[in-house]
Chain A
């Protein structure tokens, strides 16, 4: 039976949970145009040693003077030294991060939220459906699966990006394949170099035969993609309580106190970001909830 590392300590000051801890940028790895992975190391050695997270959780990352953003952790949960955040530079905070260099410090608190609960499904076939910046939150679970490969049946990664240039972690695909993860990659718009599939992620289900009795779906990406991945999964009779989705909402605290991330009765920061789809089912088809 798989057990995921239980967080022993969070880098959260219980007396003042809004106070971040300083973390230094150790390495910056460009992944795709506008997307880089930032490898962070807590300055405080006690925090560094205590910090652990589960795949799917996120940190609140802060740039002094600019603000704070919820960013999922994209690195291997077994790496207790460095924490990886794969960031698309799109907002105020993430653009400020794009101007930072190795040696600069960021404020970090976390980890927050729920994880991909694959330990509840030993022996299951796993389908990871993801697109765009939805891959980084799933990357820790890929590491975990590779390390505990015998705990699961067939594992397939369905991944899509707009263009071949936008595919992240391409250098790791071979390693993932070697680790026993089938990867099916698609792009929305191909270029002359592209030999692979073209189209959106949900259509990859048509290249796949899933066994609905033993499949578990994990999906993260643009909400429209999530909707259709779930649709295809349900169409293949995978029960909604074996589908997990990770959602993005505006967040200020990560503590369930600022109100921003509400979705129906849930706070995405603490009841999510990873939800069992059964819980979301009453709300997903409502516009603008």
Chain B
């Protein structure tokens, strides 16, 4: 337990020490999205009949920031340690694969949560949010962060160089998050693309999260919760197996 807590504390301290870059910067980015999109679309778009576009957009931006930063945390920590060689400091001690997995996932979830909270704090003044069901909000923010933290472990283990990780981020994570319904309700899409969106797990994270604020969503929050939970468990089992095998860590 001491092993796990130490590694967790170190991982949290790692991003917190450069918090300007890891927490403040993504909050600012989200604020810029809000200012631009809300300015352009506020008077033109109503979602679910009555919801103002800005209100619709805010939870989406919060969740997108949570997901992207949770992913960035574990993946960048691992790739940095691998490239710089400091990974030996966690390979030499007797750290179990489970403690390793847990510390990276929980620290990533914490970073996602911190950034999400920051985005919410600076954007909620632009609109009125419902907070209909805080339990759903918490469930999706934590589960989504954990899922993306796990995906970050996989990407960080797989990548040998920074540019490979950047490719993973730009060609997989960015499209998945941008095409997940952050900026639009999938009901506004042509039927074909509505169908495609349903294969994107990020869609369920955003949709379920939004349900927590407004009590309305594209699909049932229970369906979203199930999809996200199942995806998380699958990725977690896979990541744990790779850590146990020492995939790309122990030659």
- Decide whether A and B are members of one complex: no
Q: Which residues of A contact B (CB under 8 A)?
A: none
